[in-house]
Amino acid sequence: MGYGLSLNEFKLNTAIIPIIAIIAVITGIGIGMALTSTSESQIQEIPEQSLEKLVVAVVPQGDIKKFEAQEKMLEDYFVDKIGMQVEIFYPIDDTTTLASIKSGTTHVAFMSSRPALLANEQNGGNVLAFMADLKPFKTESGNEILGTSYMSQYWTLKERNDINTLQDMRGKSAAFSGPLSTGGYLFPVAELVHQNLLPSGDDPKGFFSNILFSGGYHQSLIALLNGEVDVAAGDDWAVFTFLTPEEQSRIKVIKDFGPVPTHSAVYNADLVDPETIAKFEKAMIDLKNEKPELMDKTLFGSTQYVPVNHYEHLQTLIDALDLTKIPHI
């Protein structure tokens, strides 16, 4: 169940895109319109000086050792597409990424949607989400569609017969990605509030016996598999992205909830000029066709990024913050 949205509204309003529309994007139809929309509706002011190097942060969602080896290939791809120096780096976490955006040393960042909203608030509205990760879903009829929202989940192990509902989680230990995570903390807490299991504004430590901030979805799942915690939470796609088939077979879903905005790409409009960000956006669209394996290996299992409007993409996130009364900053 969504926070303030019915199922029908979710289907209509969370940027779900049928497969036929994706084919249109892949073949180039509408790309010019998407770029024009981004540059006209979201770019603030043209920076006075052009950048000599574009610095791009990719906030980790899993073990970065599996992805860092490929970053030079992604840098080379962007250099060729954009025509300027590009540096890709994997920061420690969301907090350090937000600090680097605020200091002006990071110009573009791939991050969870809550930090994307924080970046906007901390920089006078000049840091904007301009692309979002596209994820596959199955409708109630079984048809596969693609969208920029997804569902989060609470997990436990199949062997835990004592944990089958959200109520059963009370007094158990839990793993979350981190206090700034969208699908790995905010929305799981919002679901407890929504189900009247946690008063709005209360610390979830009062519901769980212990909380582990693991650092990512993968780490939370590993903590669960290793018996370090009783339950864990994260994006619904994480199980199939990060775990082996044998590990997947051990996981039990307690509850799905959302919709949650997918991960965003944000840019600092004070520092990045419209021409550069338009080239970067087109390069991201082309990456799906030209080097899909590179996107998977450098962006933590992503398959495609599409243009979005900052405010429309993050609306359900704002609703969840209002529900939980977790501070925006």
**298 contacts 67 by C-beta, under 8 angstroms:** yes
- The total number of structural domains in the chain stands at 2
Across the range 184-194, mean pLDDT stands at: 96
Looking at the structure, tell me whether residues 11 and 132 fall in a common domain: yes
Looking at the structure, tell me whether residues 249 and 268 fall in a common domain: no
pLDDT for residue 29: 40
Per the model's pLDDT, the better-predicted residue between 73 and 56 turns out to be: 56
Q: What phi and psi, each to the nearest 5 degrees, are found at residue 286? A: -65, -30
**185 contacts 176 by C-beta, under 8 angstroms:** yes
pTM (global) more than 0.85? no
Looking at the structure, tell me whether residues 51 and 13 fall in a common domain: yes
Looking at the structure, tell me whether residues 235 and 154 fall in a common domain: yes
**229 contacts 128 by C-beta, under 8 angstroms:** no
318 is a domain residue: no
Per the model's pLDDT, the better-predicted residue between 36 and 247 turns out to be: 247
Q: What pLDDT, in 10s, does the model give residues 78-134?
A: 999 999 999 999 898 888 999 999 999 999 999 988 899 999 999 999 999 999 998
Rounded Cα–Cα distance for residues 135 and 223 (Å): 25
Q: Which of 26-30, 181-185, 250-254 bottoms out in mean pLDDT, i.e. has the lowest?
A: 26-30
Residue 16 has pLDDT above 80, yes or no: no
pLDDT for residue 294: 82
CATH number where 203 lies: 3.40.190.10
pLDDT level of residue 259 (50, 70, 90 thresholds): confident
On average, the pLDDT of the chain sits at 83
221 is a domain residue: yes
Looking at the structure, tell me whether residues 45 and 125 fall in a common domain: yes
Looking at the structure, tell me whether residues 158 and 199 fall in a common domain: yes
Q: How many CB atoms lie under 10 A from the CB of residue 270?
A: 16
113-122 and 94-103 are packed helices; what angle lies between their axes, rounded to 10 degrees? 30
Looking at the structure, tell me whether residues 128 and 216 fall in a common domain: no
pLDDT for residue 70: 74
Sign of the four-CA dihedral 144, 252, 94, 292: negative
